[in-house]
Amino acid sequence: MTLTKQLLFLLPVGLLCLFDSRTLAQDLPVDKNASPATVRLYHHLKALSGKGFLFGHQDDLAYGVGWQYVPGRSDVKDVTGDYPALYGWELGRIELDHVVNIDSVPFDSMQQYIRTGYRRGGVITVSWHLNNPLTGGTAWQPAQGTVAAILPGGEKNALYKSWLDKVAAFFLSLKDDQGHPIPVIFRMFHECNGSWFWWGGKNCTPEELRQLWHFTVSYLRDEKQVHNLLYAYNTDRFTSADAWLERYPGDEWTDIAGFDIYQRGDNASFSTEFGRMLAMLDSIASAHNKIPALTEFGYNGVPDGSWWTGTFLNVLREHHVAYVMAWRNAGEKPGGHSEYYVPYKGQLSAEDFIRFYDSPLTLFQKDAEQAHLYR
Ligand code: BMA
């Protein structure tokens, strides 16, 4: 850890100590009975935003480009010598009692990876591409009336609750070496302004999604007594604060405010659009007292040798996010195309990724460990 990064971290930690304990007590996450470590993570993430951001990667410990399930391996670590500070995992198929998730990661291995990441002081976030409970299709197969059908009084409410029971059991099973619950950022119903998932865009009304959000939080928190969650609301690309807020569940129901973005065109147009969205997120997060985050991003194959510092960091340094999370390094996929968002050793952008790693603004595993995000 560089001296600059150390100073950066002493600041939020010091600030937390200086705070009047009543001020902190009043600013609690969605779950007023959240476990002590969850509340501490919430305050640390708040204090962090604007000073530096945690770097995260989906499925980092499970596989990368050209390898799978090699203990201790990580593409991020192969390139930088350090693990990410935040680890993303995915629950899709847990609702069907499958032993492996939608991307073939065994759920029991996932529990171990989560424990490993947490033991290192890292942060855990989880998404859920749950099947369509009305039709049995995938998350990407919307059908009119799905959200209404799973709300209380709907024909599939009992089925949806039975799926939540499995998700609750998974979260409750996550314990550290002392038996305390491991905090998790649950990124529910992600990219909800797009119409590709059954919960998003034109597939339900904003009010229906809000009801579903409230029902899901209440069920996990009050019915199942899951108290190790922070809740992240995130859209895909958006063009105005109103558009981002259209489906917003409300301040009492959200801890983290974010969006997802993928670069598909040139650097200049991406930078403009990305910067505009980050500026809107800065204002939304400060007006609503939420933790801003770039909940998912990527430039597939990173085909630009200076993208990390020249484009991505260049835009991010002007804004306030507590973390960023790159999507998964799936590698070769059936059909011959490949998908990866962080470099592997020797990849075109690997050297620039090391410069990105060295920036005082980016925090990886060693930084997270020293920052004691749960103390
Ligand atoms: C998508 C793609 C898919 C994957 C899904 C769920 O963005 O990466 O390959 O199955 O997410 O993780």
- Confidence band (pLDDT; 50, 70, 90) for 175? very high
Report whether residue 105 contacts ligand 1, using a CB cutoff of 6 Å: no
What confidence score (pLDDT) does residue 152 get?
98
pLDDT at residue 17 above 90?
no
Instruction: Output the pLDDT for position 14.
Output: 47
What are the start-end ranges of the H helices in the chain? 3-18, 21-26, 36-48, 75-80, 107-119, 146-150, 157-173, 206-218, 241-245, 267-288, 307, 314-316, 350-358, 365-371
Residue 29 has pLDDT above 90, yes or no: yes
24 pLDDT higher than 80: no
Whether the predicted pLDDT of 25 surpasses 70: no
Question: pLDDT exceeding 90 applies to what percent of the chain?
Answer: 91
Q: Is 59 left (phi over 0), alpha (psi -120 to 50) or beta?
A: left
Is the CB of residue 316 less than 8 Å from the CB of residue 275? Answer: no
pLDDT tier, 26 (very low <50, low <70, confident <90, very high otherwise): confident
Residue 103 Cβ contacting ligand 1 at under 6 Å: yes
- Choice among 89-93, 279-283, 330-334 with the minimum mean pLDDT: 330-334
Tens-digit pLDDT profile for residues 328-348: 999 998 888 999 999 999 999
Ligand 1 proximity of 328 Cβ (cutoff 6 Å): yes
Task: Please write the tens of the pLDDT for every residue from 188-202.
Answer: 999 999 999 999 999
Domains belonging to the chain, first-starting first, are: 3-371 (3.20.20.80)
The whole-number pLDDT of residue 7 equals 55
* Stretch 2-15: mean pLDDT: 53
pLDDT at 11 over 60: no
pTM over 0.85: yes
**Closest residue CA from atom 3 of ligand 1:** 103
Across the range 171-193, mean pLDDT stands at 98
Q: Please give the distance, rounded to the nearest whole angstrom, from the Cα atom of residue 188 to the centre of ligand 1.
A: 15
- Does 65 score more than 50 pLDDT? yes
Ligand 1 within 6 A of CB of 129: yes
The pLDDT confidence band at residue 365, using thresholds 50, 70 and 90, is very high
Q: Are strands 338-339 and 331-332 parallel, antiparallel or unpaired?
A: antiparallel
Q: Which residue has the tokens 């194959």?
A: 301
What is the average pLDDT score of the chain?
A: 94
- Under the banding of pLDDT at 50, 70 and 90, the label for residue 109 is very high
How large is the average pLDDT for residues 243-269? 98
- Is ligand 1 within 6 A of the CB of residue 176? no
Q: Residue 363: how many CB atoms within 10 A of its CB? A: 28
Taking residue 14's Cβ as centre, other Cβ atoms within 10 Å add up to 11
Instruction: Flag whether pLDDT at 3 surpasses 60.
Output: no
Q: Tell me what pLDDT residue 187 has.
A: 98
Which of 100, 129, 138, 339 has most ligand 1 atoms within 8 Å of CB, for mutation? 129
Distances (CA, A) of 375 to 17, 42, 120, 188, 199: 11, 11, 13, 26, 36
If you average pLDDT over residues 123-128, what whole number do you get?
Answer: 98
pLDDT at 106 over 60: yes
Q: Please choose, from the candidates 257, 236, 261, the residue with its C-alpha nearest in 3D space to the C-alpha of residue 248.
A: 257
User: For 22-31, 44-53, 90-99, 275-284, which range has the lowest pLDDT when averaged over its residues?
Assistant: 22-31
CA of 179 to the centre of ligand 1 (A): 32
- 21-30, 318-327, 354-363: which range is least confident on average? 21-30
| The two three-digit tokens of residue 92, written as one number | 């899709």
